[in-house]
Structure 1
Amino acid sequence: MQKIKVILVALAVTLAGAVSADHMKSHTVKERTKPTGKVYRVGDDVPKAAPVVAATQSAGPRSGEDIYTQKCAACHGTGVAGAPKVGDSGVWVDRIAQGEEVLISHALEGFQGSTGFMPARGTCTDCSDEEIAAAVKHMVANSQ
């Protein structure tokens, strides 16, 4: 029984040495440490990725409710950065009194108020002016 243990230990040490030796061979070291990308220099022929093309809306502009849900609710649903929460008529009264044109202008161009900041277009880079206006109208209708 003692001989079997000695043989098994010797076999394990030999196998471990063989694995370790292969691990340190130059071809495996080069494979494991090769760069993951390529550095290009001026004048190199750099491959170019195809531009990403946004899907077009074939059904026309999105509704004000859709724009609000997808783009505006993150701030106007929670009150982040002083954004007036939709449905809180108390914070909308003075804003609504300014008129729809002013609210749409603030949404399109951005606005710094005393209680918060409205970034231009609400940072919605794929919204048309018409969609922004529809979202403003939706928020006003649900906050009176």
Structure 2
Amino acid sequence: MPKPHAPRPNRRPARLALPLAAAAAAAVLAACGKQDAIDPELSASLIQPVARLEVQAVTVAPGSRTGEQIYTSLCAACHDTGAAGAPKAGNADEWKPRLALGLDGLTASAIAGKGAMPPRGGGSDLTDTEVKRAVAYLANKAGAGYTEPPVEQ
């Protein structure tokens, strides 16, 4: 007599699971290429307080700067370090031959430019009086004792 076959297990759930898993994987992969739904304008407005930079130009009335202000903003870069052969601020030995020219001679030299120093020390908006103030301030650091022209109110 023929042997009866053993009952086969129901494979129907397994047959359905594989196509469902493949469809889910395809849906996930299809979503990977989509752009995020973030509005660039909204994003920019949200980061604005952190990323905002405001630049304001500070204008100074010609003739109103002190010698120290001019020295700090224009002259110190070279005269504090001795760059490009500039005599160092406060070094009496380097300034001695220059101080022999007197305040007017030094001022004329600074207005015209000397060596690597451009005319007016690079401050093309400086008045002659402002140059004289800066020269007096710098020379006084080396012991000159010049009187800096006053700033007119």
TM-score (norm 1): 0.63
Greater Cα radius of gyration, structure 1 or 2: 2
**How many positions carry a matched residue from both structures?**
106
Q: Is 1:107 the counterpart of 2:123 in the alignment? A: no
Partner of 1:49: none
Establish whether residue 55 from structure 1 lines up as the match of residue 54 from structure 2: no
Alignment CA distance shift 1:2-1:83 (3 Å)? farther
Q: Is residue 82 of structure 1 aligned with residue 70 of structure 2?
A: no
Q: Aligned partners of 1:126, 1:2: CA distance in 2, in Å?
A: 81
Shift of 1:2: 5.4
Q: Which residue of 2 aligns with 1:97?
A: 100
Aligned partner of 2:22 in structure 1 is 6
Quick one: structure 1 residues 125 and 2, their matched pair in 2 at CA, closer, same or farther if it must change by over 3 Å?
Answer: farther
Question: Deviating runs (4+, > 3 A) in structure 1?
Answer: 1-5
What are structure 2's unaligned runs of at least 5 residues? 1-16, 36-56, 144-153
2: CA distance, partners of 1:143 / 1:5: 86
Separation in 2, partners of 1:4, 1:110: 84
Shift of 1:126: 2.3
Give secondary structure in 1 for the equivalent of 2:71. helix
Give the AA of the match of 2:71.
Answer: Y
Partner of 1:123: 122
Q: For structure 1, which runs of at least 5 residues remain unmatched after alignment?
A: 21-52
Q: CA shift at 1:143, angstroms?
A: 0.7
Question: So what's the TM-score if we normalise by structure 2?
Answer: 0.60
User: Using the alignment, how far apart are the partners of 1:110 and 1:96 within structure 2?
Assistant: 16
8 Å CA contact 1:61, 1:130 repeated in 2 = no
Counterparts of 1:97 and 1:4, CA distance in 2: 97
Q: Quick one: which amino acid aligns to residue 23 of structure 2?
A: I
CA RMSD of aligned residues (A): 2.5
Cα separation, partners in 2 of 1:14 and 1:90, compared to 1, 3 Å: same
